[in-house]
Amino acid sequence: MKKLLLFALLLLVSTPNFSQETPEEKKTPKPNYRLAARFSPTNIGKLVHSTSVRPNWLKRGNRFWYQYKTSEGSKYYLVDADARKRTELFDNVKMAKWLSEITKDPYEAKHLPRFSFKFVKNETAIRFRVTSNEKVEAKEDKKDGKKKKGAKKKPKMEKKVYHLEYRIGGNGLTIIDNEKEERKKWQSWANVAPDSSIVIYSKNHNLYWMDKENFLKATKDEKDSTIVENQWTKDGVENYGYGGGSWGENNETKKKNKDKKKRVFVNWSRDSKKFVFQRTDSRHINDLWVINTTSGKRPTLETYKYHMAGEKDFYKPELLIFDIASKDITKVKLDSTVQQSVSVYSAPRKKAIDWDELNPTYLLSKKGKVYFSTVSRDRKRLDIHVADINTGEVKTLIEEHSNTYIENRGKAIRLFNNETEILHWSERDGWGHFYLYDSNGKLKRQVTDGPFHVDSFEGIDEKNRVLYFTANGVNKDIDPYYSHLYRINLNGSGMRNLNPGDFNTGVNVSDSKKFFVSNFSRVNTVPKSELRSSSGALIMSFEEADLSQLFATGYKFPEPFKVKADDGITDIYGVMYKPFDFDPNKKYPLIEYVYPGPQTEAVSKSFSPRMNRTDRMAQVGFIVITLGNRGGHPSRSKWYHTYGYGNLRDYGLADKKYVAEQLADKHDFIDIEKVGIFGHSGGGFMSTAAMLVYPDFFNVAVSSAGNHDNTIYNSWWSETHHGIEEIKDAKGNISYKYQIDKNQSLAKNLKGKLMLVTGDVDNNVHPGGTIRMADALIKANKRFDFMIMPGQRHGFGRMTEYFFWLKADYFSEHLLGVKIDNVNMDEMNRERPKKK
């Protein structure tokens, strides 16, 4: 007995006591999966409803309607800005009563369906459809069809549809008919001329057309044998055709759909007599492939053209002018000996338009001139031209040149004053600004000026010569990324902020330019909305987002911060996300969510309920931060966002490291010895680079869909933001030299834990980039983790939620010291409805 007791005592002493934690372990939080699960996208959809007002502008006056949802349900409002009046479009209680009486289905005011309205009768009434639970015989079964003699076929049943009309201010609904909304299949292939006289489309890589009479037949039955189709071109071939692309199709579906009508995108003249089409020859561009092993019985191959950075051959564009009457085709006279990209400028679209109304893409010029730009292969030169629509003769109006790339981003020119003046956006003085030219391309003046960034064109009041635009960084007392609406006289005087405040704002300006809706918030404020006039006067306040249910769960706003970049001078802005059960006495691992830019930064400036990558990851038990870096967002200076030019792998990493160190010095709850990093796409590239460039600082990374080897990424992004050297020999022949650092060249540096993830049918950032990274790590004898997302494109689609928990598991194990080894993802299973 004594020996037994002695043995038990020795066993007790020698066995670790897992119930007792060391002081250091007590400081480290335990992973809180239940808290993270509470803020899944599904659950957030139940807690947060509308956060902004999206106006649907009407054609009569300055009026619009909008829908806004709170925890009390959705309401619909009609706003008359001229009258300074907002009214409910209808009474929800009455609408529920009328719908219940008509359809015989129960409706309640708080639970009305989401309506899609069409305004009719000079915008005094609305029409919409609802589907009831009453079953009726499907209409197609009532038609005469071929049946076997004596066979009785059970009629196909479907739910009854009610097409209803409500006169605004009235006291009831009128049944228009019981017709279902026709799925207009022709909208996927038909490009209708503005005057509806002709319809064009692509088939077998060539351009076809049909007149109005035959098109009307096609809208009723595309298989009508009496439809007359007319072939316009005969030289179209695959990868050098007239519309009808097959992007995203595998080789089997591409073959199956080759004879189908497909849409062709063109710019129409206002008189419908001509249109301009850009034809691109990519036959000489090399193929790329992905294989989808989950799409069917056999794995399917997807072949597509993909120009990689540094490759000799480039796309060959041409602009063609088609004449409707003569069927002649005129080529715009481009220099085909240089490698360049071409873009035709389009007229801005009106906002007051019905959803089912024809909305053709017009040429920018109302007089039929063809304005377009060319950008050189090295992206250092942008030229703006105008072509004669009858002859194709070209005149160059504006020339831009830079020693780094030209920031273009769709910043179109604008014509006004009977097309005698041109407004052009440029960064030539180091900041984005508007410049005024005459119609011959002679500079008249710089309109906006100063150390701030003009972003978007919002309209011109030609009569009063006032320009409306959004800009960042004008007010030096607030975050330079915050966007606001401004007005300025075209002579450069009288610049004024129209929606001031220490917020980030999003605006929607009416077609008349007399009013605009402004939605505003910060990451740490409740979103609000208002209506203002073109002078900036507040017309009325609209909505304040209903976050009551979100806060009831314990939600807390994140915390914006400002620190210095690694140079000790440049301001860096970021956001810190803490666990909602934050304990200041604990030491939390730090995780950075990164996207390097240069075209953007992964730092939210407005409140958003989408928190899958930041707020939610923090709930597992981390401090998560997002931050900018030199070489990031173009909403600051040209110097700032071209900082990484020529060093596209490492340019942002020093700032990421230095910011983390500053925050740890400031906050005792940050454990700077445990630093994780993750990102997607460019962020996948950057997070792996961080592990290899600073292997003693960054401990854990999850890198998804990363372009680790930019020599096999698309040339647009890589050549633009890193640079490609144009070399001319003694004979004038031009070649291109491209050199860029790759992540795999540093594979030997890996010390921490790295997980690589990619979708196997990613046709944007090819999975080959991730596989090459894995290959380099294997050759360097490194342990790492690797995951394929089967059948997924670049964004991981339906596997996004699975990927979140994969990241959570990885960081939990390697930063919190807790390995989640349950084979079931219980947090996902709880949200799945149980099968009956």
Strands (E), 715-800: 725-728, 734-737, 753-759, 785-789
User: Is the sign of the CA dihedral 632, 634, 637, 638 positive or negative?
Assistant: positive
The residue written with tokens 């003699």 in the block is 149
| Distance of alpha carbon 344 from alpha carbon 362, whole angstroms | 10
pLDDT score recorded for residue 172: 95
pLDDT score recorded for residue 23: 62
Residue 512 CB: number of other CB atoms within 10 A?
15
DSSP 8-state class, residue 584:
T
| Distance of alpha carbon 536 from alpha carbon 530, whole angstroms | 11
Picking from 560, 552, 565, 484, the residue whose alpha carbon sits closest to that of residue 518 is 484
Residue 755, both tokens: 């997980």
Phi, psi of 64 (to 5 degrees): -155, 160
pLDDT score recorded for residue 33: 94
Residue 123 CB: number of other CB atoms within 10 A?
15
pLDDT in tens, 248-296: 889 899 888 888 999 999 999 999 999 999 999 999 999 999 999 998 8
Picking from 692, 681, 680, 711, the residue whose alpha carbon sits closest to that of residue 650 is 692
List of residues 6+ apart from 425 with CB closer than 8 A: 411, 413, 432, 433, 434, 435, 454, 457
Picking from 98, 90, 97, 96, the residue whose alpha carbon sits closest to that of residue 65 is 90
Residue 627 CB: number of other CB atoms within 10 A?
26
Per DSSP, the residues of 385-404 read EEE-TTT--EEEEEEEE-SS
Q: List the helix and strand counts (H, then E) for the chain.
A: 16, 44
Strands (E), 681-827: 700-704, 725-728, 734-737, 753-759, 785-789
CA 725, distance to chain mean position in Å, is 30
pLDDT score recorded for residue 315: 96
pTM greater than 0.75 (yes/no): yes
| Distance of alpha carbon 415 from alpha carbon 394, whole angstroms | 18
List of residues 6+ apart from 24 with CB closer than 8 A: none
User: Is the sign of the CA dihedral 18, 24, 30, 31 positive or negative?
Assistant: negative
pLDDT in tens, 562-609: 999 999 999 999 999 999 999 999 999 999 999 987 888 889 999 998
pLDDT in tens, 27-49: 899 999 999 999 999 899 999 99
pLDDT score recorded for residue 758: 98
Strand partners, 274: 323
Q: CA angle, 746 as apex, 742 and 752 as ends, to 5°?
A: 125
| Distance of alpha carbon 404 from alpha carbon 722, whole angstroms | 9
Domains of the chain plus CATH, in order, are 23-47+550-728+750-829 (3.40.50.1820), 56-136+158-177 (no CATH), 435-545 (no CATH)
pLDDT score recorded for residue 727: 87
User: End-to-end CA distance of the chain, in Å?
Assistant: 59
pLDDT beneath 70: ranges in the chain: 1-26, 140-152, 183, 355-356, 409-411, 833-836
For residue 807, what are the CA distances in angstroms to 241, 606, 610, 769, 820? 44, 25, 17, 20, 11
**CB-based burial of residue 373 (10 Å sphere; 0-12 exposed, 13-18 middle, 19+ buried)?**
buried
Question: Cβ(688)–Cβ(713) under 8 Å?
Answer: no
Interior/surface letters 756-786, b for 16+ CB within 10 angstroms, e for the rest: bbbbbbbbebbbbbbbbbbebbeeeeeebee
Picking from 324, 228, 342, 202, the residue whose alpha carbon sits closest to that of residue 268 is 324
